[in-house]
Structure 1
Amino acid sequence: MESEKKRRASKPKVKSGCRTCKIRRVKCDEGRPACKRCVSTGRVCDGYGIWSEGRKTTYGGNSGAPRVFQPLLSSYNAPVPIPHAACAEQKCVEWFIECTIFKIGGVFSSQFWGRTVVQALSQEPAVRHAVMALASTHKYRAQRSDKDTTMASQLSEHEKFTLQHYNKAIGCLHAEIRRHSQRPQSVIVALITCMVFVTLELMRGQYRTSHAHLQHGLKLVKEIQKLSGTSKTGKIMIRTSSQTNEDDVIEAFSRLGVHYALLGHGTKYSNLDYDIQPRHLPYKFESIEQARQYLDVLLAKAQCLVELVRHIETGMCVATRGYEQYLESQWRLEKDLEIWLDVYRSSLDGFSAQDLIKNTLATRLLGMYHTMASIMVRTCIPWDDDMAFDLQTDRFMSIIREAIDMCQALRTAYPDFPMSGSLNCPLGMAFTMDIGFIQPLYYTAIKCRIPQIRRHAIGLLRLAPHREGIWNGALTARIAEEVVAYEESNIDTSFTVGKSLDLLSLPEAGSSVTILPSLCRISDVHVELPDENTGEATVTFWQREDGRSWKVGERKFQTEDP
């Protein structure tokens, strides 16, 4: 018996399970983010290690073994145990897992927010303090029902707590980099913390500060991919199947970079280009997230081509290739978008739908963004031919149709969803870092010159009570209205339409539509957001002709959120 016991004791340690159960040499149920065995006995679960063997970031171009994806942590009840955390801090972490992730993640599953950030916050002090600052801001904004009745003392206490943890996060990050400046994990920690800062500043209305964080983060992404050999072309490489924390982080940064470019920040993000691994499309998409991943890169490439051609034709940069090669790039992108649509349609029946409403919204959104990308590619060459958008009426109508289907799905799920005006929803409960219908509707409103269609797009924008990253439904609706007013100011009144719209019915373009003259059209709209959500956004309108572009107007709008 004694020899048998000795042989038992000398068995190697189990490689799975949390650190606490490993030390105790007991079987772990491997619950995430904390195992139930530890939580039920009152112990602190030390977690599974964001940098554990199965999660090591790979460098030098070698891919590690695939890991099993964990579902979104919003489905778990076990809180993340933070040793020595005060009650207020622990509540912040719980709020982040139960509410913040769900809201800012959007309708698509977010591996970055639901997995990478949650695992990191329990082990990396910089991420933990950044998350506490974000959760505090989100909770404060979500729970205030009336701005006018908010007590100054509550606001002061909230700001104090937020800034305290914000500063602690910065301090911990500096200390981490000083101690381990060459450690690859330190770079990933810096990027995770940076994206949390980007989100926090957007939620606080500090747009310029958020923009600065994003630019620094994207620069760091390009540097680490270049050093690791992941990308040899200078493009940001995105994987369609996330394998490391690095993949999750790069996905989050690349998507937000495209969002900024589409709002008129293209000149600041024109040096960004994206590639995907693997490069070929599968015969079928395994999930709606994989379909979205491929479409993200096609949309980024479309935006990059638009900016590149614009810079060349206005003399802002010298063409590195012949014009025929740019036409070939346009043709290839059109074909890639057509192939994506064929694969997507053949894959729809195979997508699992745990949440029917989210699945409906996700499929409609991908349809809208695919249509918008197709319009961008088809109209980008030649750059100064704004009349090319007149041939895209059916596609603009398709964007409206998808948006109406989304509204109908929301009204079915939520009978109180309004079909006029907008929802009076606190910012914290109406903020997401993911895509929504604001971008395609805004694009439709300023690029489609059919009066009924563009006004319908503006009416649907007015319904949006929320922000999608930097995109504000009410603000974009106001900008679009100014564009319409400028373009139609010298047009006969019979050209315009009435304001009464049935937003759940498709608009009627009519058989005979007056064509808006080229010289009346706004070709570019640039938006500069302030560093406070009650400040003024500066919007400039540009026209172009014969390879020249000039500013024709400027407007200022209050950016205060509803």
Structure 2
Amino acid sequence: MTSVVGSPSSSNASSKTSTRPSGRKGSRKVRTGCLTCKIRKVKCDENKPNCLRCTKTGRKCDGYQTPLPRAQSSKLPNLAPELMSSEDYHAFDYYRVRSSAVLGGIVRDSGDDFWSGLVIRLTITEPAVRHALLALSSVHEKVIAIGDKPETRIPNTTFAFGEYSKAISAISKWTPPSNSSEPATIPLLVCVLFICIEFLMDYEAAAQVHISQGRKILSQITEAQAMASSPAAEMLRNVLVPIYTRLSLASFLFGHHPASIPDFFLGDWSVPFSFSSLLEARDALFGLLNCGLQFSNEIMPLVYDPTIPQDQLEGIVSRQRAILARLAEWRTSFAVLEATLGSKTALQDLLHMYYHTAHIWISGTLGPNELVFDDHLAGFGAIVSHAASGIAAAPSLRGRDAASFVFETEFVAPLYWVAMKCRHPMLRRAAIRLLGRREVVSRRENFWRAREYLGVAIKTMEMEEAHIASSPGAADLWDEGGGDVKVPVWEPPTFRVREVPSMANLSINEDGPRVPPVGRLESPDGSESSGSSVVTAGMEMMEELSSLDPDRLVAPFGIPAERRLRNVLVMQRTTGGARVTVFKDPGLGETEWKVKEFFWEF
């Protein structure tokens, strides 16, 4: 989902504490203390491992952040492992100065020190972590040098793959340091580093294998292991489980179904009356989103089953209401937390975006077609509004060192989803414009390439709205696709259609219909940003909204159910475009998706 905050040394600006009044209550600015007290802006007693101020008031103490090393110094910190070659030193230093500061994105901006603290510390004692870190750093440096060019091969990966192999060898020999009952925390952490490497290399299949393997390891951990008071169990609960929970967005949304995370990790979906920190609120929300994604994948085939027993249908509706009720509780508790905070952060906007996305998604799960989304204009509007605010507020999206790749799913996915599911012409184009902003369009958030999904969103809008501007009898753009195949609805519209025999040998004409090439969009602030531009029913209509038929501003916005696209899968990237698989909902009384393939130019 980002970038260096100022510079890697910004948190260590001075070893001296100024005695000059800060201009707010208190004699001086406190730069130390636990994360919870810093967020609450109260003095921390700095008791280790948990401060007394938190524990005495019943709050969860989030521990202490490790300061980032200074970028100006070429000397490795004391916690650096024994390194053998100049290439090792270079890779470690690049990770320390650059990678650790940007991979976590907005989460890193908000005090999570996984990449800049925990991973580096473990290189001292864990060879598998050390080798995986060096491989990740090497790949990251080369990917950043290439830029936003998906067809370009990463040069000279010998060192990276050598370290990757060493990490695999080391992890195969790993045993718990104290006793065999401790959970497999190091394999789970190294698996996260492997996932990040595959994200960077754009190897979706390999990344999904690692996500599935990590979730499988989690599913095999016993409750006794998970709830132990050991440091390993605490790292598992507080760090690794939240990461694998958030990775649901990179798995379920791309048609994969990893093992479930055990309920004792996620609790009984209960939400506290108030959260002690933004990170606690984040973890609770993504836990609910994980449950919602599993629910929607499980029940999708049943939505179209006319023979489903009434008691089973009532059970599904009950589960849906339970998830929505927990989401409502989360929103209330989050409002209580926000009332205690000072200035607003980008993470707050991001959490609002995902709350509204989750609410709309779960609310529409039982809808038989795309018209169900027309009832959620307020939610779509909130996503767009918080996206604009969050993009403006995020330190990691601005400046010379703004990251082009982050591990987390942040702005691209929800903005793309609004552009696909919201048919209100103004809100849809607002989401597209935000995707085309300079700060966003060149970003990669794990699998999510902003420029690519901007192109998909624009082409989808063009295809759904083409009949509005066309003369009567004009050809439907849907008919220009190849391989008209119908697939049973019990297969979700996220699976790979190449597995269908009738599609396997389909030849798509790359000289056929295309999205016009990348052009320029004018951002709301007047600045230009690179992005796709559709001349026909695309961005020109932004200037013509005043002349729109009033019926286009109320549901169904001039786009009937049969013209709406359900999903678009990017199958294979080529120079200047991609092969895509497009799904439409079944017709009345039908039980098969309508599927076609196109070549779309980005």
Report the TM-score, using the length of structure 1 for normalisation. 0.71
The one of 125, 142, 151 aligned to 2:127: 125
Aligned pairs (5 A) from 1:181-260: 183=180, 187-225=184-222, 228=225, 243-245=234-236, 247-260=238-251
Distance 1:461 1:436 in 2: 12
- Superposition deviation, residue 105 in structure 1: 0.7
Aligned pairs (5 A) from 1:500-515: 500=540, 512-513=551-552, 514-515=557-558
- Superposition deviation, residue 327 in structure 1: 1.4
Match of 1:549 in 2: 592
The one of 531, 539, 554 aligned to 1:499: 539
Structure 1 position 487 matched with structure 2 position 464: yes
Partner AA of 1:118 in structure 2? I
Taking only aligned residues, the RMSD between alpha carbons, in angstroms, comes to: 4.1
CA 1:361–1:501: 2 relative to 1, 3 Å:
farther
Distance 1:74 1:91 in 2: 17
Structure 1 position 282 matched with structure 2 position 272: yes
3-state secondary structure, aligned to 1:69: coil
Structure 1 position 404 matched with structure 2 position 401: no
3-state secondary structure, aligned to 1:524: strand
Distance 2:104 2:546 in 1: 32
CA 1:67–1:445: 2 relative to 1, 3 Å:
closer
Distance 1:195 1:316 in 2: 42
Structure 1 position 81 matched with structure 2 position 83: no
Match of 1:155 in 2: 155
Aligned pairs (5 A) from 1:111-510: 111-143=113-145, 155-156=155-156, 159-176=157-174, 183=180, 187-225=184-222, 228=225, 243-245=234-236, 247-262=238-253, 264-265=254-255, 268-269=257-258, 276-277=266-267, 279-314=269-304, 322-351=312-341, 360-382=345-367, 384-409=368-393, 414=398, 429-463=403-437, 464=440, 465-493=442-470, 499-500=539-540
Gaps of 5+ in 2: 1-31, 33-47, 51-59, 72-76, 473-535
CA 1:184–1:487: 2 relative to 1, 3 Å:
farther
3-state secondary structure, aligned to 2:275: coil
- Superposition deviation, residue 446 in structure 1: 0.9
CA 1:116–1:346: 2 relative to 1, 3 Å:
same
- Asked whether the equivalents of residues 94 and 137 of structure 2 are also in contact (C-alpha less than 8 Å), the reply is yes
Report the TM-score, using the length of structure 2 for normalisation. 0.67
- Asked whether the equivalents of residues 303 and 366 of structure 2 are also in contact (C-alpha less than 8 Å), the reply is no
Distance 1:272 1:525 in 2: 28
Distance 1:507 1:343 in 2: 40
Distance 2:334 2:217 in 1: 33
- Superposition deviation, residue 474 in structure 1: 0.9
- Asked whether the equivalents of residues 539 and 555 of structure 1 are also in contact (C-alpha less than 8 Å), the reply is yes
CA 1:439–1:249: 2 relative to 1, 3 Å:
same
Partner AA of 1:519 in structure 2? E
Distance 2:540 2:240 in 1: 45
Aligned pairs (5 A) from 1:36-47: none
The one of 64, 67, 71 aligned to 1:70: 64
- Asked whether the equivalents of residues 273 and 300 of structure 1 are also in contact (C-alpha less than 8 Å), the reply is no
Match of 1:239 in 2: none
Partner AA of 2:203 in structure 1? Q
3-state secondary structure, aligned to 1:541: strand
CA 1:81–1:507: 2 relative to 1, 3 Å:
farther
Distance 2:305 2:214 in 1: 29
Distance 1:230 1:220 in 2: 16
Match of 2:97 in 1: 98
CA 1:116–1:552: 2 relative to 1, 3 Å:
same
Distance 2:227 2:142 in 1: 41
Partner AA of 1:540 in structure 2? V
Q: Bigger CA drift: 509-518 or 533-542?
A: 533-542
3-state secondary structure, aligned to 2:173: helix
- Superposition deviation, residue 494 in structure 1: 9.8
CA 1:120–1:415: 2 relative to 1, 3 Å:
closer
How many residue pairs were aligned? 461
User: How many percent of aligned residue pairs carry the same amino acid?
Assistant: 21
- Asked whether the equivalents of residues 70 and 115 of structure 1 are also in contact (C-alpha less than 8 Å), the reply is no
Output one character per residue of 1:71-118: Cα deviation in whole Å (capped at 9) or x when no partner: 155367835321253333133223222221211111123353344322
Distance 1:175 1:252 in 2: 24
- Asked whether the equivalents of residues 568 and 580 of structure 2 are also in contact (C-alpha less than 8 Å), the reply is no
Distance 2:259 2:302 in 1: 12
Distance 1:440 1:450 in 2: 16
Distance 1:502 1:534 in 2: 25
Output one character per residue of 1:234-281: Cα deviation in whole Å (capped at 9) or x when no partner: xxxxxxxx933454122212211233223x42x534866866237432
Match of 2:44 in 1: none
CA 1:558–1:196: 2 relative to 1, 3 Å:
farther
Match of 1:237 in 2: none
Distance 1:116 1:533 in 2: 39
3-state secondary structure, aligned to 2:345: helix
- Superposition deviation, residue 475 in structure 1: 1.2
- Superposition deviation, residue 326 in structure 1: 1.6
Distance 2:405 2:161 in 1: 20
CA 1:507–1:446: 2 relative to 1, 3 Å:
farther
- Superposition deviation, residue 470 in structure 1: 1.0
